[in-house]
Structure 1
Amino acid sequence: MTRGNAITHSCEPGILYDFGGFPKALYELTYPAIGQPELAQTIQTLLAKKGVQAHLDSRRSFDHGVWIPLLHLRPEADIPIVQISLNVDATPEDLIDLGSHLYSLREQGVAIIASGGLTHNLYDIQMKHQKVADYAARFELWVTEQAQKRNLKALQNASVKNPDFKQSHPTPEHYLPLLIAMGATTKEDEFSQLTSPIQHHSISMTSFLWQGVS
């Protein structure tokens, strides 16, 4: 997360191990993906035309929100990547608008990936506990229903409207990327749910995919 919108602008950004308290093996993983400065400049120009300021950051590396999911999705690390940071000053409405501004990139063959988690309560993790937290199950189901209906207003206001939000997300940074993804969709898109069981009592990594209908 950054103040303002930062865009990676380097051919070889490298990766950040921006987490702590995990097994040593996690810090030995690598993901040698390359960047694409030309695309970064295109994104900056595109956003500027929409009145959104973003700066190019040639020193910023890919954080774990980028390389951990892609390590599973594309282990070959053979696709150029540009990361846009999560702006701490952005409102939920701003994030939906950001996704909308980026939509045209899809028409150029650019995949827009927003990573986070449907629930992310690290304070309630129980590594040996197989029972799913009731609040996590309810929130996962609710978000899935709203995403499938493309109910942007409900998802935008989840933090104040859904009683399970605070337990599911003690801090909101793992939820907010969903709003960017939703903003980059249309009513005509085909919706798919990639289900993953809730793990360790309180962690849902269920994902959604929107594709244009050809």
Structure 2
Amino acid sequence: MLPSLFIAHGAPSLAIEEHAYTEFLRRLAVSLPTPKAIVLFSAHWESDVQKISAAIEPEMLYDFYGFSDDLYDMEYLAKGDLTLSLHIQQLLEQEGIRCEMDDRRGLDHGAWGPLSIMYPDARIPVVTMSVNPRLAAEEHIRIGAALGSLRQEQVLIIGSGGTVHNLRKLDSNNPVPQLWAVEFDEWLAEQLETWHVEALIRYDERAPHVGLAVPTPEHFIPLLIAFGAGEASRNAKLLHHSFQLGTLSLCCWMFGRFKEFRKA
């Protein structure tokens, strides 16, 4: 059985960067059995109802501006998997979760950014999923739990977002992470590692500096979904943690027992 993962996708430029985090992502992919398919919840696809991509050949979405021309030349030509998309729809509907298929949605950088590092040959089918910022935290966990059985089918479930993600607080001149950002991630780690669901679903009330760390919820939601997908194991492991630009958290969490992977 594969674990579920939360992967911070950082800035769009992550796809062409070389540092400890990108090297970690490559090692992580090699350490896992090759998935039959990937289901990825992207912070950059927001919708009022849960959407499931059904495009057979999803197009590239360059949902950013002001970056290097190299990024706009990037291609990640992964195929979709309509059979899996329909299976996901069935699993969600069995739990009373409203969802819709979308055969036009392409791959945004929350998807192709980390995947181009982990699986650069793009041979693994990818089904992307939206996030709904209007849902309560426990509903995101429930969505993840509804799809947890896919892990037994060698489908890798990934939540792609960011725990501390406040673009107004980025500081390109400060390589040292800000204390408030560190304290938020430390609080979050304690709740995940102890599987403290009640605290997690009330993170917006209980977490220190939450207004700074999570000014809007869309980047935090994929973590809750990946956590929910690992509910059967109740095991959380922080695999990597670092910061860019003073406050941008680059972390990776694994949910579900797989094998020992040393923290990077």
Instruction: Name the structure 1 match of 2:8.
Output: none
Which residue identity lines up with residue 116 of structure 1 in the other structure? Answer: G
Q: CA deviation at 1:190?
A: 4.7
Matched, 1:33 2:78: yes
Higher relative contact order (CA 8 A, sep 6+): 2
Q: How does 1:13-162 map to 2 (within 5 A)?
A: 13-162=58-207
**Equivalent position SS for 2:238:** strand
Q: 2 CA distance for matches of 1:141 and 1:131?
A: 16
Deviates more, 1:181-190 or 1:193-202: 181-190
Alpha-carbon contact 2:175-2:244 (below 8 Å) kept: yes
Q: Distance in 1 between matches of 2:165 and 2:240?
A: 16
Q: Which runs of 5+ in 1 are unaligned?
A: none
Distance in 1 between residues matched to 2:154 and 2:123, nearest whole Å: 15
Asked if 1 retains the 8 angstrom alpha-carbon contact of 2:54 and 2:82, the reply is: yes
Query: How far, CA to CA, are the matches of 1:200 and 1:8 in structure 2?
Result: 32
Cα distance in 2 between the residues matched to 1:97 and 1:69: 25
Residue in structure 2 matching 1:7, options 29, 37, 52: 52
The 1:145/1:187 distance shift into structure 2, 3 A limit, reads: farther
- TM-score where L is the length of structure 1: 0.94
* Cα displacement string for residues 60-105 of structure 1 (whole angstroms, at most 9, x for unaligned residues): 1122211111111111111101111012332211101101111111
Classify the secondary structure of the residue corresponding to 1:89.
coil
What residue is the counterpart of 2:220 in the other structure?
Answer: 175
- The alpha carbon displacement at 1:188 in A equals 3.2
Task: Give the letter aligned to residue 203 of structure 2.
Answer: A
Q: Percent identity?
A: 35
2:256 corresponds to which letter in structure 1?
Q
Compute the displacement of 1:26 (Å). 2.0
- RMSD of aligned C-alpha atoms? 1.6
| Alpha-carbon distance in structure 1 between the residues aligned to 2:211 and 2:58 | 34
Amino acid at match of 1:119: V
Tell me, yes or no, if the aligned pair for 2:214 and 2:220 is still in contact at 8 Å. yes
CA distance in structure 2 between the partners assigned to 1:10 and 1:105 by the alignment: 20
Partners of 2:133 and 2:221 within 8 A in 1: no
Rounded to whole Å, the distance in 2 between the matches of 1:161 and 1:50 is 29
Residue aligned with 2:135, SS: coil
Distance 1:196 1:12 in 2: 33
Cα shift at 1:56: 0.8
| Residue deviations 1:87-129 (CA, integer Å, cap 9, x gap) | 2332211101101111111111111100111211111111121
- In 2, the alpha carbon distance for the partners of 1:94 and 1:190 equals 20
Q: Does the 8 A contact of 1:150 with 1:187 survive in 2?
A: no
Q: Do the aligned residues in 1 keep the contact of 2:241 with 2:250 (CA within 8 Å)? A: yes
- Alignment-mate amino acid for residue 174 of structure 1: H
Aligned residues: 214
CA distance in 2, matches of 1:92, 1:15: 30
> Matched residues in 1 for 2:159 and 2:231: separation?
16
Query: Structure 2: which 5+ residue stretches go unaligned?
Result: 1-45, 260-264
- The answer (yes or no) to whether the contact 1:66–1:83 under 8 Å persists in 2 is yes
TM-score of the aligned structures, taking structure 2 as reference length = 0.77
> What is the CA–CA distance in structure 2 between the aligned matches of 1:177 and 1:58, rounded to whole Å?
21
